[in-house]
Structure 1
Amino acid sequence: MDVLGVDACGKQGWIGIALADGAYAGSLVDVRLDALIERAAGVQAIAVDMPLGLVEKGWRAADLEARALLGARRSSVFLVAPRPAWLESDYAAAGDRCQELTGQRLSRQAWALAPKLLEARACRLADERIHEVHPEVSFPALAGGVPLAHSKKTWRGQNVRRHLLAAAGLPLPDELGEADGVPADDILDAAAAAWSAHRIALGIAGRIPEAREVDAEGRFIEIRY
Structure 2
Amino acid sequence: MGVQPSRGGGETDVLGIDACGKQGWVGIRLTGGAYAESLVAVSLAALIERAGAVDTIGVDMPLGLVEKGWRAADLAARSLLGTRRSSVFLIAPRLAWQEPDYAAAAHRCQELTGNRLSRQAWALAPKLLEARACWLADERVHEVHPEVSFCALAGGVPAPYAKKTWRGQNMRRALLAEAGVVLPDGLGEADQIAADDVLDAAAAAWSAHRIALGIAERVPPRPEPDAAGRLIEIRY
Above 0.5 in TM-score?
yes
Deviations 1:71-95 (A, max 9, x none): 1211111111100000000000000
Deviations 1:66-116 (A, max 9, x none): 101111211111111100000000000000000110111111111111000
1:185 aligns with 196
2:163 aligns with 152
CA distance in 1, matches of 2:88, 2:19: 15
Q: Which runs of 5+ in 1 are unaligned?
A: none
2:130 aligns with 119
Question: What is the SS of the residue equivalent to 1:5?
Answer: strand
1:3 aligns with 14
Deviations 1:171-204 (A, max 9, x none): 1000000000000000000000000000000000
CA distance in 2, matches of 1:116, 1:194: 19
CA distance in 1, matches of 2:96, 2:208: 29
CA distance in 2, matches of 1:163, 1:72: 20
Question: What is the SS of the residue equivalent to 1:67?
Answer: helix
Question: What is the SS of the residue equivalent to 1:169?
Answer: coil
1:94-105 equivalences in 2 (<5 Å): 94-105=105-116
1:194 aligns with 205
CA distance in 2, matches of 1:87, 1:214: 19
Deviations 1:148-170 (A, max 9, x none): 11100111100000000000001
1:141 aligns with 152
Question: What is the SS of the residue equivalent to 2:223?
Answer: strand
Question: What is the SS of the residue equivalent to 1:158?
Answer: helix
Question: What is the SS of the residue equivalent to 2:68?
Answer: coil
Computed over aligned residues only, the root mean square deviation of the Cα atoms, in angstroms, reads 0.7
Q: Which runs of 5+ in 2 are unaligned?
A: 1-11
Question: What is the SS of the residue equivalent to 1:164?
Answer: helix
2:177 aligns with 166
Deviation of 1:211 after TM superposition, in Å, equals 1.3
1:110 aligns with 121
Aligned amino acid, residue 184 of structure 1: A
CA distance in 2, matches of 1:137, 1:127: 23
Greater Cα offset, 190-199 or 1-10: 1-10
Deviation of 1:36 after TM superposition, in Å, equals 0.3
Structure 2 length as normaliser, TM-score?
Answer: 0.94
CA distance in 1, matches of 2:220, 2:176: 24
Structure 1 length as normaliser, TM-score?
Answer: 0.99
CA distance in 1, matches of 2:198, 2:223: 29
Aligned amino acid, residue 228 of structure 2: E
Confirm or deny that 1:31 pairs with 2:42.
Answer: yes
Question: What is the SS of the residue equivalent to 2:120?
Answer: helix
CA distance in 1, matches of 2:200, 2:28: 9
% identical equivalent positions: 78
CA distance in 2, matches of 1:172, 1:59: 36
Deviation of 1:207 after TM superposition, in Å, equals 0.3
Question: What is the SS of the residue equivalent to 1:55?
Answer: coil
Aligned length: 225
Deviation of 1:132 after TM superposition, in Å, equals 0.1
Structure 1 segments (4+ residues) deviating >3 Å? none
CA distance in 2, matches of 1:140, 1:209: 15
Q: Decide which of 5, 11, 15 is 2:26's aligned counterpart.
A: 15
